[in-house]
Amino acid sequence: MADRLKMQDPRHQYPAPPFPEQPQPAPGLTRRLDPPADHGEESYKGSGKLEGRRALVTGGDSGIGRAVAIAYAREGADVAISYLPSEQADADEVVELIRAAGRKAVALPGDLTDENYARGLPKRAADELGGLDVLVINAGHQKFFEKFEQITTQDFDETMKTNIYAMFWTAQEASKIMPPGAAIITTASVQAYDPSTTIMHYATTKAGIVAFTKALATELIEKGIRANSVAPGPFWTPLNPSGGSSQEKVKKFGEGSKFKRPGQPVEIAPVYVLLASQEGSYITGEVYGVTGGEGIA
């Protein structure tokens, strides 16, 4: 892997479409992506920004969550990851990468739409890690439909429970045990500001995440806990090939950005590092857009 920190033209730093069609069942596995995604496995270099922190990352097996887990470990944090049992193969790789960085790794498989599991995650992570300083709420469900009338109640419900309910349950329990100086980071989307009709139910949850995070920041600063959100644009993860987009869109994924390519998960991980670290000590209630130049309104 080339040194991503070496100065170079960002338009050509990573693969650009056209990409091959690559359907896979949800929730999708990183190992099946073509071209492979860069989560920082070889390219992320840490500098101790999170030394001694204890972090929980939901959806930490693949995509952005995987990149965040790797970056946190390389920055000195012990990391617990949650993921669906069907994602075990990807999760095993992340656990090994965390351990290779010399940090403790905790695997917590389960379904975030189960309230008992979601509410129990922060305490389970804290028990295993000796405390909880950073919560990254990243796991998400996205499924595209060709037309509005095709969106089913079942999928609408699953999207809401995965993206909104689980965030509420997990953040509420984490806030009870996190110390002053801790940080909660949610994952929104450019879809919160510029929604696509084919995933309008997903976009609705992302707008809700923005509102929830801003309100949470006002509440939790009284405890010395910061809360912020990151709003990605098109990032190359299993979310889209596994039903988040049509295969036709997968072939062209990211070409509409100003870079004419999708972002790689490692390119957004440093924002999550900033928001978790003491360098972000005066940042709360903010939404950081990493959208390939589209911006957020």
Q: Which residues belong to the active site?
A: 202
Q: How far apart are CA 188 and CA 210, in angstroms?
A: 6
Q: How far apart are CA 66 and CA 155, in angstroms?
A: 25
Structure tokens at 89: 């193969």
Structure tokens at 246: 């049509």
289 Cβ contact partners less than 8 Å away, ≥ 6 residues apart: 190, 231, 233, 295, 296
CB 208 within 8 A of CB 195: no
Phi and psi of 236, rounded to 5°? -80, 95
Phi and psi of 151, rounded to 5°? -65, 125
